[in-house]
Amino acid sequence: MAIEVRIPTILRTYTDGAKQVEGTGSTLGEVLADLDSRHGGLRDRLVDGGGLRRFVNVYLNDEDVRFLDGLDTPVKDGDTVTVLPAVAGGAVTALPAVAGGAVTALPAAAGGALFI
């Protein structure tokens, strides 16, 4: 089962510069684990203890998987998974955990990209 996974510029260090890689699995979670076996560290940039990372968008074909089943979203042969870093920021120093939700203080990022 070949699932095409499109990788944003900022994560291509994990794929030797490839814009697109192939994975197998029957759910998104399985595909990411499969990719991680060949591109070590990639999965960690997309997933944390609670599931998909807050400021990374993952789409199955045209839909944000947060509106589907997250990591449990079933995938099938010929599907395309697209990863895009969320475009976000602002004057705030403590980021909301969800848009409009309770403010959660996150570790200050001194010189590093937080979602990475």
Site residues, other proteins (CB under 8 A): 8-10, 55, 57, 59, 62-64, 66, 82, 84-93, 95-96, 99-100, 108-115
Q: How far apart are CB 111 and other proteins at their closest, in Å?
A: 4
Taking the least distance from each CB to other proteins, the nearer of 34 and 58 is 58
Q: How far apart are CB 36 and other proteins at their closest, in Å?
A: 20
Taking the least distance from each CB to other proteins, the nearer of 25 and 96 is 96
Q: Cα–Cα distance between 9 and 53 in angstroms, integer?
A: 17
Q: Is the dihedral of CA 116, 102, 70, 79 positive or negative?
A: negative
Q: How far apart are CB 80 and other proteins at their closest, in Å?
A: 11
Q: How far apart are CB 112 and other proteins at their closest, in Å?
A: 5
Taking the least distance from each CB to other proteins, the nearer of 12 and 43 is 12
Taking the least distance from each CB to other proteins, the nearer of 2 and 110 is 110
Residue for token digits 């599931």? 51
Q: Is the dihedral of CA 66, 71, 76, 82 positive or negative?
A: positive
Q: Which amino acid is at 94?
A: A
Please give the full DSSP string across 48-79, using - where no structure is assigned.
ETTEE-TTEEEEETTEEGGGTTGGG-B--TT-
